[in-house]
Amino acid sequence: MEVFQLQGVSKTYENDGETFRALEDVSLTIEEGEIFGIIGMSGAGKSTLVRTLNRLEDVSEGSVRFYGQDLATLSRRDIRNIRQQIAMIFQSFNLLGQRSVLANVMQPLKIAGVPRHLRKEKALEMLRIVGLEDKQRAYPSRLSGGQRQRVAIARALAANPKVLLCDEATSALDPKMTGEILDLLKEINRTRKLTIVIITHEMSVVEKICNRVAIIDQGRLAEVGEVAEIFRNPTSNAARKLVFPSNPFDPSSKNNKLIRLVFDGLAASRPFIAELVEKTGKTVNILSANTKSVGGIGYGQMVVEVPGDEAEQQTIINFFRQGGLSVQEVNAL
């Protein structure tokens, strides 16, 4: 079932007589129960896009539908009801510093008019889910960044939303804490069937947790699809810049090429470079290599330099492709 359906969404801002187009003709869908990533560089328009999902931003053109309802047609009261179903967490946590952890988690329930004894019971349940029940009497200033984000997640879950929007929710955290928060979100998605939308500028976040991803570039949708497929075979320049490993080397001669090889599963255990030499007599120069988990599946990628002769290049590329590897030219960037 489609949770969000965006059709031809554009957003224009006007300031002092000047017009700025933040979004341009974006169309995509987000399915119930998936973890969907929206990624782009700073200023790409991803935060504007996510704010259209709960109508914190009205669109200039196009439509945003939530479970089939066009948000632009709803009354203020209806929008308030919709927003109770769409929770958000942020990079800055947005906790109330003068209130305890428990009081912070109870706050949305208080606003919703839930009786106090039920608010406390529900808040404690949420703190158990995020592993912070023992911190209920603590204040945010005494917590680590990762703990504060866990409190923010507990608060977001308290009202039983259908969707959780995470706007750069791990950007202020170190890699270890980032991994813990992403693992927690993945577990919440699995156990509570909660649809999660992740807004980030870090491909590593998308690779670790998301099922599908939309890549936003200068307000436009550059590419959308399964994370594993985009990692294996990015088709847009914006996707390549995010997916390709950083490579500080240039070809050693102007006719040589740099190519990126991607392998997964059983292919990772095959000695492709040794087989290349043995079966074709051709050699390549390995410039960089790494492995990572993409959607829970192990992937590896390698950047190699191939000789300048076109016939040799084709022999090498064909060998790798026949072995089931994805091959793309890095120089094209």
Q: Where are the domains of the chain?
A: 2-235, 244-329
The string of pLDDT tens digits covering residues 80-138 is 889 889 999 888 888 888 999 999 999 988 888 888 889 999 999 999 999 999 999 99
Q: Cα separations (Å) of 146 from 53, 91, 171?
A: 26, 11, 11
pLDDT the model gives residue 237: 87
Fold designation for 2-235: Rossmann fold (3.40.50)
Alpha carbon distance 191, 193 (integer Å)? 6
Q: Let me know the angle formed at the C-alpha of 32 by 28 and 38, rounded to the nearest 5 degrees.
A: 45
In terms of CATH, what superfamily is 244-329?
ACT domain (3.30.70.260)
Residue 270 has a pLDDT of 76
Q: How many CB atoms lie within 10 A of CB 245?
A: 14
pLDDT of residue 318: 92
Q: What is the pLDDT at residue 331?
A: 59
Residues of the chain with confidence (pLDDT) below 50: 332-333
Neighbour-count burial for 103-123, b at 16+ CB within 10 Å, e otherwise: bbbbbbbeeeebeeeebbebb
Q: What are 116-132's pLDDT values in tens digits?
A: 889 999 999 999 999 99
User: Model's pTM, two decimal places?
Assistant: 0.86
- Identify the CA nearest to 224 among candidates 98, 81, 63, 39: 39
- The answer to whether 188 touches 129, Cβ cutoff 8 Å, is yes
Q: Rounded to 5 degrees, what are φ and ψ at 231?
A: -65, -40
Q: What per-residue confidence (pLDDT) applies to 241? A: 84
* Beta strand extents in 274-323 (DSSP E only): 285-294, 297-306
SS3 label, residue 144: coil
Residue 202: predicted pLDDT:
87
